[in-house]
Amino acid sequence: MKDGKETRCENCIVRQFNSLRAMSKEELKKVSDSKTTKIVKKGEVIFQEGEKLNGVYCVRSGVSKLSKLSANGKDQIVKLATKGQVLGQRCVISEEVSNLSARAVDDMEVCFIPKDDVVHTLNTNPNFAVEVLRHMAHDLKEADDVIVNMSQKTVKQRVAEAFLYMKNNFGEDSEGYLTLTLSREDIASVVGTATESCIRIISEFKKKKYIKTSGKQIGILDERALEDMIDS
């Protein structure tokens, strides 16, 4: 499993998207030697809230939902991670247990990189540390935006936003349906609302021809209308 061109981090395209690109050739080699590649099937758990992580997970393909269980028993999806994203960095850096669960939405391929490699590189290669810092600063900014959206926007606006987000970050197929297919429950969980409320809004959008549906699939018809709706 450790040979073959495409399983070497040095040659992995995915690396271009994340902080690993700031690693030196030597560091990458070391990581590549100690990493393991894992297939995660749709619905399977990568790690759980409260778990201690011994490394980070670099997503090569597929999509993962990062969620947190709230006191009332509902899952809140905090982030969707895709190709190139690194999961579990926070826990490794702050040496705490994970505050989120990661679960596969699609079939996924992820690389597990042991903690020690990451920590060692952080401590010796400032470029890498700064690169990680930059990514985390970005995440934090996004989190602030989410906080404001959650507290100030209506469910309808948030659903509209979620659809646009899905289109912009995951694209659509040749027939105009979103590439990323989430269950209604998952959509509700991203938006932070009850599944039924979410479904009702979807029907409304459909009736108004803002979107089309086909089974679970959702396609955006009138992007403009959704955008207009978002800014109150």
Residue closer to DNA, measured from CB, 16 or 72: 72
Among 141, 208, 209, 216, binds a second copy (CB under 8 A): 141
Q: Binding segment for a second copy among 27-35, 103-111, 128-136, 207-215 (CB under 8 A)?
A: 128-136
Q: Are 57 and 111 in contact (CB under 8 A)?
A: yes
Q: Give the largest Cα separation in the chain, rounded.
A: 58
Distance CA 102, CA 212 (A): 29
- Determine the number of helices (DSSP H) and then strands (DSSP E) in the chain: 8, 10
The least distance separating DNA from the CB of residue 41, rounded to whole angstroms, comes to 12
User: What is the radius of gyration, based on Cα positions, of the chain?
Assistant: 19
The answer to whether 232 contacts a second copy (rule: CB under 8 A) is: yes
Residue 129 beta carbon to DNA: minimum distance, rounded to whole angstroms: 40
3-class SS of residue 98: coil
Identify residues 190-229 at the interface with a second copy (CB under 8 A): 192-193
Give the contact letters, 36-75, x = binds to a second copy (CB under 8 A), - = no: --------------------------------x-xxx-x-
Torsion, Cα 164 40 107 205, to 10 degrees, reads: -30
- Eight-class DSSP state of 30: H
In the complex, the smallest distance separating the C-beta of residue 155 from DNA, rounded to whole angstroms, is 4
* Residue 124 binding a second copy, by CB under 8 A: yes
- Which residues pair with residue 58 across a beta bridge? 86, 111
Tell the smallest beta-carbon distance from residue 75 to a second copy (Å): 9
At residue 214, the 3 state secondary structure works out as strand
The verdict on 1 binding a second copy (CB under 8 A) reads: no
